[in-house]
Amino acid sequence: MSYTAVELIETKRDGGKLPDDGIEWLIRAYTDGSVTDYQMSAMAMAIYFNGLDVDE
């Protein structure tokens, strides 16, 4: 499946669960420069406030 950083950030911000392939996509996109530092910072903030479950 295809993702965008914004939709994954919004999912976590709104208390949703990140799909496994979405997490993989986000890490790959960040390391290749497709996801910016400020987007990854927003994801980190969403995770900080909403946490991760054991499956994530």
pLDDT tens column, 16-38: 999 999 999 999 999 999 999 99
Residue 42 falls within a domain, yes or no?
A: yes
Q: What is the pTM of this model?
A: 0.93
- Residue 40 belongs to a domain: yes
Q: Which long-range contacts (CB under 8 A, 24 or more apart) does 48-51 make?
A: 49/13, 50/12, 50/13, 50/15
Provide the domain count of the chain: 1
Residue 55 lies in a domain: no
Please give the pLDDT value at position 55.
Answer: 93
Domain that residue 31 falls in: 5-50
The verdict on residue 10 lying in a domain is yes
The verdict on residue 43 lying in a domain is: yes
- Please answer whether residues 17 and 55 qualify as being in contact, where contact means their C-beta atoms are separated by less than 8 angstroms: yes
Longest dimension (CA), the chain: 28
